[in-house]
Amino acid sequence: AFSAPQPTVTAKSDLAIVGCGVLGTSLCKQLLSSSAFASRTVVGITKSTSRHDDIRGQVLGNVDDGKDNERFVVMTMEEVLSQYNGHSFKDVVFCAPPSGFDDYPSAVKDAATQLWSGPDSGGSFVFTSSGGV
């Protein structure tokens, strides 16, 4: 199992991926391999810790060389809100499916208001959906 490294940069330069299912996990892997995001830490956000080791394995592969291990962190929403202590992310991608929430519109709104630093930060909030595919 991979250890859970703590984020090494501030939320202002981190990129949050809310929902690390098939779509979110694939996106994390692609971002980490892109030279355009070489200086960014990717924070995968889940509802529970039950799949964290599996997600780390899928994103980082079986290589534990420390390089991408320092740039990828997977945490629950509660852990993120606690650790970042009100600091928001410049960029947020929302990949979580509606099936995981009692009130999906509120979950999307909460991600935008609690995690994203807003349009004045120069970053983006991206909502994705794979429903009906």
pTM for this prediction: 0.85
- Cα–Cα distance list, 24 to 36, 41, 118, 130 (Å): 18, 15, 21, 11
Q: Measured between alpha carbons, how far is 24 from 71 in angstroms, rounded to an integer?
A: 16
Q: Measured between alpha carbons, how far is 38 from 110 in angstroms, rounded to an integer?
A: 28
Tell me which residue of 98, 104, 112, 124 sits closest to 23, measured CA to CA: 98
Residue for token digits 């509802």?
47
Report the Cα–Cα distance between both ends of the chain, in Å, rounded: 32
Residue 120, classed as helix, strand or coil, is helix
Q: What is the pLDDT of residues 29-87, one digit of tens each?
A: 999 999 999 889 999 999 999 999 999 999 998 555 555 578 899 999 999 988 877 67
Strand locations in the chain (E):
15-18, 42-46, 72-76, 91-94, 125-127
Q: What is the pLDDT of residues 14-40, one digit of tens each?
A: 899 999 989 999 999 999 999 999 889
Q: Measured between alpha carbons, how far is 61 from 118 in angstroms, rounded to an integer?
A: 33
DSSP 85: T
